Structure 1
């Protein structure tokens, strides 16, 4: 795993495509039969990207505090946002946009020093060769439930067509990995419809790495990815290894006109804090309008998140995952030298913040956004048994930040937390 990814903390996900024209669910709307494939593809005629400005996107992402970005180069609908040689189904040939949006995006993101990520759907529900086999080659008993976009409805598999489709994917991915500068991250989706063997793994991954040995690949590669990607629901238990939580800013991945179910700025900041507390990144998704502009509500949330991050950046960047919630009922991070603990205070306290299990002597406590120094007291404990007391940090609503407050606790030695179950005091 590349160090930059584990240190990044925040990425921006962009679902941009023809589905923004009518505001329908990206790809799934025709796959699930809500509209026909023909109706879905009529959106090609309305996709203009007339106000698409990749440099404005990059500037917004930088202000949001993001260290990487991931754009949907092609979703399950098969519509490519670049001028691919291997299909006419792309926005350059088939829409009024007539622009290689991936090139503009890659140039702008790279210029800003933001790590370049590309989303690519392994499945293609519009490609004639894709619905040629079943997952693991197993023909279902009830063919009436087979979706015509993903598998042969007559139950007859065609391995030759499937191999042609794999070659098609390889060719498109070669374009993405060679035509737009160094790609830092490939974000796959759709691996669930075929087995690892059918995706030609691990040879397929070796092929991708042949273009760039530093390339990071997400988990959606039938067990051959580099990091986990829990989606929409924040993990309660920390995933093993590197991970990233991907989530929408409202309820939709792509732009949907009727979706006003936005998460508040405070909720987004708290979710972000929860992710870095558990040692992960947050990949926050936006869905631009078909003309390429970002909804002002989405922009405001990104800018608000960036303001909070800049104010508290020492608690975000260059830190490791925090202490467990059994010690502190909130989020936290720890400095690399383990001599500073940052506590995220989500709500207004009545008079104290409670920290349990702390073995270290506290040298100083400050409110990060204001610099105000706070006092504390320790109640209880059995020091001759090395059982610490409860640390009560004196804090009132007047000390809080309007979103999430960060307290900085400094120690002379590396942080040490007690994890035992207590003991009977048999002598004093």
Structure 2
């Protein structure tokens, strides 16, 4: 089982765009819970469940990223912020008078999460806009006092989750509050024109509201604080103390700040490529926006949901996937359909997802990914080999049996070994439309050589984060394609004339391989690729700002075994040159 609790502060990453001045990134130690509903010991559901539903829903949802005749592209919950529509506080507060979500159905949402295979739900009780989506006595800017609907949906959802056997918890924006005097980003004076401080906001609203959400909704599994910015540690500690007092079995998200959370949360929309130690979560969304945006129809397919879920589980963590209900409370149909279809697969193969261990390879493989339960490996095959031969590099523990699963049944699979590789003989057609599963029984706990193996028939990508660099820097970079739509890469950059990134690879099938690089930069760049002790190839291409894949040439590996391959930037703008990864494809 994963380590109990690791508190993480993700420093050094520079947030581009969203609240950089608040120093949010210095304290973005993010995380999620794997609990087993209300009777679970603290952290158990987070550790064993591995999959949860996030819900962003509020006043912003009825705008759907459109104000007047103008559409704003980006995450919907930031619509009132000056970085988007810049809606004045007085105008934004008027939205409550038209918020009437007649289509909200707590039972439908809880059933959807259950059908999707999720183990708990976390919903926004108050986002940065300051509007409480529950019956708050601490502030009248809430759903029961200022809307014609005048209901508390959180009571309904908490009850619906309990009825479905799901855990329940709250998101709460503890630092930012754009409508309450003194809140970070909010008015600097109160209704009487007197100066308002952060103390005013914290004492009058924040602390009492955290008391409310942890006292009035029965047992909860998690309080998901967000964007602590420069909030002093003593304030965060008070909030954590309230959670501990009222909900001793609940976890506190790493984004509480100052290392006071219970687990690490990665960056928004970031699924790691390398195993992460400790207890952590990745937070993602079913399309590009967290809250509902009318134009955003770029939904993750069932297969992509499973790919990202199993990647998180395979790296040792939890996956929390968001939906953004419309302003009327309804859930976009395409999001619901994708969740249900991926959930059908999870119901057939729960052993792949729940209460599992990380992959001993510590990275994905060309055809899919691996999770572990005891002495069993579960090979999730997303890309079926055309030859019927599935290649697994580096497994050291002897195999006692292997079978291709089809629901509760399994068909025995033959296998052989060659040069440290295991080759499974599979049927020509995959048994599953989404992901097929090979169950491999071992003679003991799995031991592997995690060196990247070049698959004989599928493209193998090795990312720069798995390289060793000299004369260059290897670091994490984040940027936004649209406002709030985060992308991330671990890249080799700041190249010197003699800089290089070295990759170790394992070759089963000797011969020629087509080599490509994924990189970004400015102008024309010349990259060189070398086999240490072997041949050199190089080529020039016009660079891309978006990490396009560029061919370099054919490279020969004369015999099976391990090789060291280096990549160097030979000519061009070294300052902007950024290497994401190298690709190998056997020349058939």
Does the pair score TM above 0.5? yes
2:100 paired with 1:48? yes
Distance 1:26 1:76 in 2: 11
Q: Does structure 2 conserve the Cα–Cα contact (< 8 Å) formed by 1:44 and 1:95?
A: yes
Q: Does structure 1 conserve the Cα–Cα contact (< 8 Å) formed by 2:403 and 2:439?
A: yes
Q: Tell me how far 1:320 sits from its aligned partner.
A: 1.0
Q: Tell me how far 1:87 sits from its aligned partner.
A: 1.0
2:447 paired with 1:416? yes
2:71 paired with 1:36? no
Deviations 1:285-332 (A, max 9, x none): 001112211111011011011101011112222321112257944311
2:374 paired with 1:374? no
Instruction: Identify the structure with bigger relative contact order (alpha carbons < 8 Å, sequence gap 6+).
Output: 1
Which secondary structure state, in structure 1, belongs to the residue aligned with residue 125 of structure 2?
Answer: strand
Which of 343, 348, 362 is the aligned partner of 1:311? 348
Number of aligned pairs? 391
Question: Which residue is 1:126 aligned to?
Answer: 179
Which secondary structure state, in structure 2, belongs to the residue aligned with residue 92 of structure 1?
Answer: coil
Which secondary structure state, in structure 2, belongs to the residue aligned with residue 239 of structure 1?
Answer: coil
Q: Tell me how far 1:375 sits from its aligned partner.
A: 1.1
Deviations 1:120-168 (A, max 9, x none): 111211001225xxxxxxxxxxxxxxxx63779xxxx97x732222122
Which consecutive unaligned segments of at least 5 residues does structure 2 have?
5-42, 66-74, 452-503, 507-588
Which secondary structure state, in structure 1, belongs to the residue aligned with residue 310 of structure 2?
Answer: helix
More helix by share: 1
Which of 151, 160, 166 is the aligned partner of 1:114? 166
2:235 paired with 1:196? no
Distance 1:232 1:327 in 2: 18
Which of 45, 60, 64 is the aligned partner of 1:19? 60
2:285 paired with 1:214? no
Moved more, 48-57 or 63-72: 48-57
Distance 1:121 1:397 in 2: 52
* Change in 2 beyond 3 A, CA 1:410/1:102: same
Question: Which residue is 2:544 aligned to?
Answer: none
Which secondary structure state, in structure 1, belongs to the residue aligned with residue 103 of structure 2?
Answer: coil
Q: Tell me how far 1:394 sits from its aligned partner.
A: 1.4
Which of 286, 305, 323 is the aligned partner of 2:360? 323
Deviations 1:314-372 (A, max 9, x none): 2222321112257944311111x2x1101111112022111122222222211222622
Q: Does structure 2 conserve the Cα–Cα contact (< 8 Å) formed by 1:196 and 1:221?
A: no
The runs of 4+ residues in structure 1 deviating greater than 6 Å are none
Q: Does structure 1 conserve the Cα–Cα contact (< 8 Å) formed by 2:273 and 2:363?
A: no
Moved more, 404-413 or 24-33: 24-33
Deviations 1:51-105 (A, max 9, x none): 2111111111111111111010111111111111111111111112110111111
Q: TM-score, normalised by structure 2?
A: 0.63
What is the correspondence of 1:23-422 to structure 2 with a 5 Å cutoff? 23-24=64-65, 25-31=75-81, 32-37=83-88, 38-122=90-174, 123-131=176-184, 149=186, 161-167=197-203, 168-192=205-229, 194-197=230-233, 200-222=235-257, 223-230=259-266, 231-324=268-361, 328-329=365-366, 330-335=368-373, 337=374, 339-351=375-387, 352-369=389-406, 371-380=410-419, 389-418=420-449
Question: Which residue is 2:40 aligned to?
Answer: none
